[in-house]
Amino acid sequence: MLWHPFTQHTTWEEESFPVIDGAEGSWLVDVDGRRYLDGGSSMWCCSLGHGNPWVRRAIKRQVDKLEHATFLGLTNPPAIELAERLLALVPPGLSRVFYSDNGSTAVEIALKMALQYWGQNGRPSRAKFVALTQAYHGDTTGAMSVGGVDLFLERYRPLLFPVFQAPATYSYRCAKASTLEECGKHCLAELDEILSIHVDEVCGVILEPLVQGAGGMIVQPPGFAKAVENLCRKHDVFLVVDEVMTGFGRTGRMFACEHEDVRPDLMVISKGVTGGFLPLAATLATERIFKGFLGEFKDRKALYHGHTYTGNPLGCAAALGVLESFKKDRVLEPLPAKIEVLRKGLMPLVDHPNVGEIRQRGLLAGIEIVKDRATKESFPVEERTGHRIILEARKRGAILRPLADVLVVMPPLTSTRDEIRRLTGIVAKSVHAVLG
Ligand code: PLP
């Protein structure tokens, strides 16, 4: 009957799977009453855990007033208030908020904005993007085109448009450098070269700042995102930051950009913006970009993009509830201590012979499992090692989802320190259960 995302149904249906029917805080509850720690914040989205009272109240209030009114030609109070509040939080320079309903779509919008800006502001040859290898920006066609995870793209290549690819800071498997810092320098040099050669063709660089998520939790060395911004400034191309995963506290600050004072031209947010309550996304732009779309009606300079659910009042109300919770519950304050608990909790795995590398940034971690630590050889795909480990974790009361053989640990920001300890304990035990 159902068709699940990123799922081979032949094998999935051979396994039992929990049917989730309830949730509370950091816990998911299945129809049989079994409780599981939500170790990946439900696809990195439920950052405030489950059932946040601020968000619940905000949605309940809104649902009795207005569930939806089109944003094409109309506006609504929650959408206006949310834009004001977001603009007070995001990096300086961003001044316009364009709503949509998922991360991929918000990425598409950023790409269209960048392309169209140059097209109608004197540089029409600028029609290509630079993206990183291992990048993930979503599953719609444009978002896939700027993606770099081969497994997700290989079946769809005929649909995708060409991009220039700069290397990711995947130092663990970098042939040219042995440390993260060196790897970062090498990547920046290549990016600079691409931009120098193709400056007349490039409209922007798209980057997941600080950590590339679905590509394997690939962390960047300190200063990398800022250095990418500086290269964009040098060549006067746009920097598009995709904070769909890193935004809303995941890296320890509200936005990853804050760590390095990165000031993008376009910024994409989703996931944590409503903490999993309702689908909402936004593409934020600078005034320079916005002004590049102004003109006479007959000039046809408007952004030709919009969705039925653009500016949905319920989604915006949910996001206002999230921001209220961040403020009133001081969600960010205890994060340094929780981040340390996560780090310490994963320490026992550092010397495990099948743990190649543990990469952490804020309250997210990726554990790369390898067959041979010395050669960094991966396990054969058909062994599904990552999957077998998460099945063990499930038995022990935690829900996780690996990225191939990279185990992702990303608890809700509101998890208690004990819950994070418990989660990391389950991860360690599950690795031992499968690999000895
Ligand atoms: N960008 C990043 C960095 C993501 O991690 C994701 C999803 O995981 C997306 C974009 C796509 O978001 P969505 O799944 O809401 O389309």
Residue 13: pLDDT band by 50, 70, 90 thresholds?
Answer: confident
The residue whose CA is least distant from atom 10 of ligand 1 is 137
Structure-token pair, residue 322: 């999230």
Pocket of ligand 1, candidates 141, 240, 245: which has the most ligand atoms within 8 Å of its Cβ, to mutate?
A: 245
Q: How far is the CA of 81 from the centre of ligand 1 (A)?
A: 24
What are the residue boundaries of the structural domains of the chain, listed by start?
A: 9-52+332-435, 55-328
When pLDDT is averaged across residues 276-301 and rounded to a whole number, the result is 97
Q: What is the pLDDT of residue 16?
A: 85
Q: Which CATH architecture has domain 55-328?
A: 3-Layer(aba) Sandwich (3.40)
**Residue ranges lining ligand 1, Cβ < 6 Å:** 102-104, 107, 136-138, 208, 213-214, 242, 244-245, 270
Nearest CA owner, ligand 1 atom 13: 103
Cβ-Cβ contacts under 8 Å for 210 (sequence gap 6 or more)? 219, 220, 224, 225, 246, 251, 256, 259, 361
Which numbered atom of ligand 1 lies nearest the CA of 102?
Answer: 15
Q: Distance from the CA of 34 to the center of ligand 1, in angstroms?
A: 29
| Protein residue closest via CA to atom 5 of ligand 1 | 245
> Is pLDDT of 54 > 90?
yes
Place of tokens 């920097």: 239
- Res. 14: pLDDT tops 90: no
Task: Say if residue 202's pLDDT is above 90.
Answer: yes
Report the residue among 244, 245, 307, 361 best suited for mutation to probe ligand 1: largest number of ligand atoms under 8 A from its CB.
244
What architecture is domain 9-52+332-435? Alpha-Beta Complex (3.90)
pLDDT digits (tens, 9 = 90+) for 164-200: 999 999 999 998 988 999 999 999 999 999 999 999 9
* Residue pair 186/223 in contact by the 8 Å Cβ criterion: no
Spatial separation of the C-alpha atoms in residues 11 and 7, rounded to whole Å: 9
Best mutation site among 271, 273, 274, 309 for ligand 1 pocket (most ligand atoms within 8 Å of CB): 271
Q: How far is the CA of 53 from the centre of ligand 1 (A)?
A: 25
Centre of ligand 1 from the C-alpha of residue 40, in Å = 14
Q: Which atom of ligand 1 is nearest to the CA of 139?
A: 16
pLDDT band of 398, cuts 50, 70, 90: very high
Tokens of 218: 């690939």
**Amino acid type, 284:** L
- Distance from the alpha carbon of residue 133 to the mean position of ligand 1, in angstroms: 16
Mutate to test the pocket of ligand 1, among 107, 257, 270 (most ligand atoms within 8 A of CB): 270
pLDDT band of 122, cuts 50, 70, 90: very high
Q: What is the pLDDT of residues 67-121, one digit of tens each?
A: 999 999 999 999 999 999 999 999 999 999 999 999 999 999 999 999 999 999 9
**What pTM was computed for the model?**
0.98
From 212, 214, 209, select the one nearest 139 (Cα to Cα). Answer: 214
Closest ligand 1 atom to residue 279 Cα is 15
* pLDDT score of 12: 83
Cα(245) to ligand 1 centroid in Å equals: 7
Which ligand 1 atom is the nearest neighbour of the CA of 44? 8
Beta bridge partners of 129: 204
Query: How remote is the CA of residue 78 from the centroid of ligand 1, in Å?
Result: 24
C-alpha 102 – ligand 1 centre gap (Å): 7
